[in-house]
Amino acid sequence: MTNKTLLGTAAALVGFVMMVATPASADLLDDITQAKKIRISTDVAIPPSGMMDSSMKPTGSDVEVAQLLAKDWGLELEFIQTTGATRIPNVLTGKADIIISTLSVTPDRAKVIDFTKRYATLQSDIGCLKSSTVKDWPDLKDKPIGVSRGTTQDTTLSNMKDKDLKISRYDDDATMVTAAVSGQVDCVASSATIINQIGVKNPSRVFESRIPLATFDLAIGLKKGEQRLMDKLNAWITENVKNGKLNAIYKKFHGVELPPDMRS
């Protein structure tokens, strides 16, 4: 037997051992159904999408979307606390089954996870202290812009190399808001809703939207290859957009309705 033949045989054996030693990939929808529980990665430090109420129970638009999903599917709900930066790793490592946490659909994210159809939208802006003179991009020169690490806003600003922006990154939205409230930054890049919430915590530090960034579709995120789960989630979103439940949740917490093209 030649060395070439030996090498080929060895490679085939290694491949066979790996094949029989590695269990077949489980279907996540079956796993969820069998466990009678769904683990959802949700950030409860980004009001009004996720927050804790006076009884220290999760609430917010994403929280209620997750609760509605679990109720409709007859499952126990386990929230997996997350930040903007850990949402995707939570599903990739199997810590969570899906993500419902202001997760905007972007090409980069679509390379590593799958997205359902949109269930809501997110308007992102540059918001600044009301007394600030900032009106457009040139006015931001040398002014630190607070942003939550790993968010779409972080990526968007980081890609604006030509604007020479000074970005101050924080671990999550709650920390970024604290920085704005305490005067560490006079401008932030975030959702319009969060920008409007800053002044609630400190009336002397009222922020308002100054420069629009983009409107993003929000979708449920899940590990790639889970087509049955994806199909069921999409059917659920379609049904609850049609019956008005998702719109009612969004309006309750954000004060506006979902875009007309979603509701038609």
pLDDT at 21: 36
Type of residue numbered 220 = I
Asked if 115 and 224 sit in the same domain, the reply is yes
Asked whether the CA dihedral 237, 212, 61, 46 is positive or negative, the reply is positive
Residue 8 is assigned to a structural domain of this protein: no
Residue 170 is assigned to a structural domain of this protein: yes
Give yes or no for a contact between 127 and 208, defined as CB atoms under 8 angstroms apart: yes
Give yes or no for a contact between 188 and 175, defined as CB atoms under 8 angstroms apart: no
Interval 202-242: pLDDT, tens: 899 999 999 999 888 999 999 999 999 999 999 999 999 99
Domain that holds residue 206: 123-215
The number of beta carbons lying within 10 Å of the beta carbon of residue 199 is 17
Bigger pLDDT: 85 vs 147: 147
Tell which of 215, 231, 255 closes a domain: 215
Q: DSSP E strands: which ranges in 192-262?
A: 207-223
pLDDT at 174: 87
**Average pLDDT, whole number, for the chain?**
89
CA angle 133, 135, 138 (to 5 degrees): 95
Judged against a pLDDT cut of 60, whether residue 29 lies above it is answered with yes
3-state DSSP assignment of residue 233:
helix
pLDDT at 26: 62
Interval 135-193: pLDDT, tens: 999 999 999 999 999 888 999 999 999 999 999 999 988 899 999 999 999 999 998 88
Asked if 131 and 100 sit in the same domain, the reply is no
Q: Count the domains in the chain.
A: 2
The arithmetic mean of pLDDT across residues 252-260, rounded, is 88
